[in-house]
A = this chain, B = another copy of it.
């Protein structure tokens, strides 16, 4: 683990556990269910194997992750402890905060549809109370994933198996923002029409222009 901040502050102590690089992304993967080492590697493109092993050890020592026998045979599966699963809240909160960063689209970044299982509930659970239930379909490479948000919660219907590497457009993310009640239709219409023009998107989301 990296050096302590030396502050008696909840945020600082939380960051000493989950603030290191990759740590929250590991938790994101485990929020979708227990996983083997290899599955984690695949869900975390770019992570060095020694780093992943080290982080899993840190998180286990901190009480966030536990290793237990996998279903099949004597292999090992990693899973969140009860306390670790409570990181769902901070993670969803960060996802909600990040929507302006998603508008420009994926660019060269990889996209995994499973991540929608974390992102979409986060966006739709931010809706104002009293809204009726909503169903949203997300199409990726011709396949559709369905998601239903009711006052009781959000249900994600997993895609129909198989490997699925695709891209999702900025318009889709704007749509999610609208569905979540985070954006106003009038504010955002010009951004959609201009299809990714950074100025318009920035204005719609009331983001200041980036200098340089």
Contact = CB atoms under 8 A, between A and B. Distances in A.
Contact of A90 (B7, B90, B210): B90
A4 B25 CA distance: 13
Interface residues of A, number: 66
Question: What is the oligomeric copy number?
Answer: 2
A54 interface: no
Interface in A149-164: none
Contacts of A97: 14, 83, 86-87, 89-90
Name the residue among A8, A45, A66 with the largest chain B CB count within 10 angstroms: A8
Nearest to A62: B210
Interface of A: 2, 4-15, 17-19, 21, 24-25, 28, 45-46, 60-63, 66, 81-83, 86-87, 89-91, 93-102, 105-112, 115, 118-119, 122, 167-168, 205-208, 210-212
